[in-house]
Amino acid sequence: MKFINMTCRFACWFAMVTIVAMMLLTVADVFLRFTVSSPIRGTKELTELMMVWIMMTLGLVTLEGMNVKIDLIMMRFPPKVQIFAEIIAHILSSGIFMVMVWQIIVAMRYSINYNVHTTLLKIPESLTLGFYGLSYAVFLLAVLALLTKRIAEVLKK
């Protein structure tokens, strides 16, 4: 659990630095476009890539319980039903994200084999897919950690 927590925290710091870099890049691009009539080449592609990097915070958000959830219905059920529903949700999330990571790996292999890249800056698409896969894998680890923690709590009672 400690390793997963540290990995998620690193991903969060990386995402924060990325947001600052993305803001500075966008401000510089707009400033240069209006003052010198020469925008920074490839700003749109870089910003899109940075948006993918920000997704790496999914794991920490999940571990800290900061994700958006609506408890209006679940809070009306007894605690045992709530715990059972949470375990089922973690199992379903784990399955879905395992499939997503697998499909991203398949897409990465295709992208590498056929040399798919962005139009202007020629950034390999496999790089973007790799960050997607990494962020989903970190999220999957966080969900699995919460699942095992919840199951351990249930078995302890």
pLDDT at 139: 87
Question: Which backbone phi and psi does 27 adopt, to 5 degrees?
Answer: -60, -45
pLDDT at 129: 92
Show pLDDT as tens, one digit a residue, over the chain (157 residues): 688 778 777 877 888 899 999 999 999 999 999 999 999 999 988 998 888 888 878 777 787 777 767 677 888 889 888 889 889 999 999 999 999 999 999 999 999 999 999 989 999 999 989 988 988 888 888 899 889 999 998 898 7
Exposed, middle or buried, 126 (CB in 10 Å: 0-12/13-18/19+)?
A: buried
pTM above 0.75, yes or no: yes
The amino acid that residue 119 corresponds to is T
C-alpha 25, offset from chain centre = 22
pLDDT at 87: 92
DSSP secondary structure, 41-107, as one string: TTHHHHHHHHHHHHGGGHHHHHHHT-S----TTGGGS-HHHHHHHHHHHHHHHHHHHHHHHHHHHHH
Query: Domain ranges in the chain?
Result: 2-156
pLDDT at 102: 96
